Structure 1
Amino acid sequence: MFRHLGQKRSFRHNIRLAILLCLTAGFVNASGFLGFFILTTNITGHAALLAVKLTEGDLRAVRMVTLWLILFLAGAFCSSLYISKAGRDKPHSYTVPMMLEIIILCGVGYFGHTYDKSVVKTEYFAGSLLFAMGMQNALVSVVSGSVVRTTHLTGMFTDLGIDLAAAFLKHPAALQKRIVLRCTIIISFLLGGVIGGFAYVKFRYHSFYIAAIVLIIAMFYDFFRVNVRLFVSRVRKSRKAA
């Protein structure tokens, strides 16, 4: 899933990436909202909230929302900086940001039961998830050459509307693929949200472990796929030799 980067990626590569990572983003967004009453991928909403709190003079809320915006930005910055330093053309450079995101999700799953709706703990838990989602969004954008974005749908719905309008007038294959990819991103995010909602109701904060498992699958997808192919090839050769 991370072996091919930028222009080297095919339509199928981006579809696989979109399904797993958008599923994770939707899952975390829904579980985070149910658990901490904060949308952990909706930066546009937080910017609007910041403006409202500024007009109301609620300085404590202003500080908290500003921190969330900075943490999302910091996640994207750290992820992109590490990938650039390690080498954008090296698949293993994406391992560290993914591992850090997995650790954050597992940490929220493990310590989430201590949440008591206090301002400090809201900042702590929601902020860590926003940082993780910033990292993921930057990582996926770099991997796909900004074709796939996983944590927000406003721009995706806009782009889908533009592509649908263009497709109404003409029908090139490239447009059809873009529409399918954008629909996959939207559906995967929504499906992740539904699954995340049900998972939180069933498992409470332990539901974040499920999101971490999906990321582990995405991280080792290429390894298992290549080895399974090699195994099947060897089995076929041994049968032919017999």
Structure 2
Amino acid sequence: MITKLPRWILWGGAILAFSAGCVNTAALMGFTKLSVSHVTGNVSLFAAAIAHFDVYSVLYIGASLLAFLTGAIVSGFVIGQTSLKLGRRYGRALYIEALLLFISYWLYQEHDYLGQLTAAMACGLQNAMIATYSGAVIRTTHLTGLTSDMGAAIGNWLAGRDISKPTLAFQTIIWYCFCAGAVLGAFLYAHIGYAALLVPSSIVLIAALLYSAASEHLPETRTRNKSS
């Protein structure tokens, strides 16, 4: 249960949720019409394609699902562990995510379906990168589990039971930031097309630079660098 939330987790979660909302809306409004920030809806479409023997849809939806999984695998390989802790290799993961998003922008502009795959991989990497903190599951690329957790917490509060208010507040912030990012993504895509992806790409890159600069001043990081 979260009792006090460090600022780096609060700001990081909010910024990444905003970015993911923007990316996902641009992808949905584009020529693929597929989500990149989560897999549930795409699995349903994948199953429907199988039922209708639509081989083409099975292949391209299945590829998007595998790309999201691949991104999560990359996150696990680069970062390791599952609990959030300042000083880990989040900077490296963020650089990889930013690169994938910039590549996806270029590919989408070329009307290349590989843009869908690189965007899905970036979201899979981000979602796996933000794991748990003080027993609370933290996800920044979709809202289903988050909304369920918020609802359960509110229900417990209405029943007079103790809840973690910092956890609920953090979940609410992520919810609204994702929504705000989705609104911006829709507005930008309607006006500038896939160039809308340059906004979340830049946000993630700036986050990577700031995190890397901050982590260099941590005693744990300096000690590890000297020993390596």
TM-score category, normalised to shorter length:
0.7 to 0.9
SS of corresponding position for 2:89: helix
Candidates 11, 14, 18, aligned match of 2:9: 14
TM-score, scaled relative to structure 2 = 0.82
Q: Return the alpha-carbon distance in structure 1 between the equivalents of residues 165 and 4 of structure 2.
A: 17
1:96 paired with 2:92, answer yes
- Give the AA of the match of 1:133: C
1:209 positional shift: 1.3
1:175 paired with 2:175, answer no
Instruction: Assess, with a 3 A threshold, how the Cα gap between structure 1 residues 222 and 143 changes in structure 2: closer, same or farther.
Output: farther
Q: What residue is the counterpart of 2:179 in the other structure?
A: 190
Query: Structure 2: any 5+ residue segments left out of the alignment?
Result: 217-228
- Give the AA of the match of 1:166: N
Instruction: Assess, with a 3 A threshold, how the Cα gap between structure 1 residues 111 and 64 changes in structure 2: closer, same or farther.
Output: closer
Candidates 98, 102, 107, aligned match of 1:106: 102
- Give the AA of the match of 2:147: F
> % of aligned pairs identical?
24
Instruction: Judge conservation of contact 2:91–2:209 (CA < 8 Å) in 1.
Output: no
Partner deviation per Cα, 1:38-69 (whole Å, 9 max, x = no partner): 21113100111111111111122112222111
Partner deviation per Cα, 1:5-27 (whole Å, 9 max, x = no partner): xx898353332122101000100
How do 1:219-230 and structure 2 match up within 5 A?
A: 219-222=208-211
Q: Return the alpha-carbon distance in structure 1 between the equivalents of residues 134 and 125 of structure 2.
A: 14
1:225 positional shift: 7.3
Instruction: Assess, with a 3 A threshold, how the Cα gap between structure 1 residues 214 and 8 changes in structure 2: closer, same or farther.
Output: farther
Q: Return the alpha-carbon distance in structure 2 between the equivalents of residues 84 and 136 of structure 1.
A: 13
Q: What residue is the counterpart of 1:130 in the other structure?
A: 120
1:215 positional shift: 1.0
More helix by share: 1
1:76 positional shift: 0.3
1:217 positional shift: 2.8
Partner deviation per Cα, 1:115-164 (whole Å, 9 max, x = no partner): 1xxxxx33x11111111100000111267876320111111111111000
Instruction: Assess, with a 3 A threshold, how the Cα gap between structure 1 residues 20 and 137 changes in structure 2: closer, same or farther.
Output: same
Instruction: Judge conservation of contact 2:20–2:141 (CA < 8 Å) in 1.
Output: yes
- Give the AA of the match of 2:127: N
SS of corresponding position for 1:91: coil
Instruction: Assess, with a 3 A threshold, how the Cα gap between structure 1 residues 145 and 103 changes in structure 2: closer, same or farther.
Output: farther
1:25 paired with 2:20, answer yes
Instruction: Judge conservation of contact 1:9–1:144 (CA < 8 Å) in 2.
Output: no
CA-based RMSD of the aligned residues comes to: 2.9
How do 1:125-164 and structure 2 match up within 5 A?
A: 125-141=115-131, 147-164=137-154
Instruction: Judge conservation of contact 2:67–2:120 (CA < 8 Å) in 1.
Output: yes
Partner deviation per Cα, 1:203-222 (whole Å, 9 max, x = no partner): 22222111112112322335
- Give the AA of the match of 1:58: D
Instruction: Judge conservation of contact 2:108–2:116 (CA < 8 Å) in 1.
Output: no
Looking at CA atoms only, which structure, 1 or 2, has the larger radius of gyration? Answer: 1
Matched residues, number: 214
Q: Return the alpha-carbon distance in structure 2 between the equivalents of residues 63 and 200 of structure 1.
A: 26
Instruction: Assess, with a 3 A threshold, how the Cα gap between structure 1 residues 223 and 145 changes in structure 2: closer, same or farther.
Output: farther
TM-score, scaled relative to structure 1 = 0.78
Q: Return the alpha-carbon distance in structure 2 between the equivalents of residues 78 and 34 of structure 1.
A: 27
Query: Structure 1: any 5+ residue segments left out of the alignment?
Result: 1-6, 116-120, 228-242
Partner deviation per Cα, 1:91-132 (whole Å, 9 max, x = no partner): 3522222111111111222343211xxxxx33x111111111
Instruction: Judge conservation of contact 1:167–1:175 (CA < 8 Å) in 2.
Output: no
SS of corresponding position for 1:40: coil
Q: Return the alpha-carbon distance in structure 2 between the equivalents of residues 78 and 201 of structure 1.
A: 32
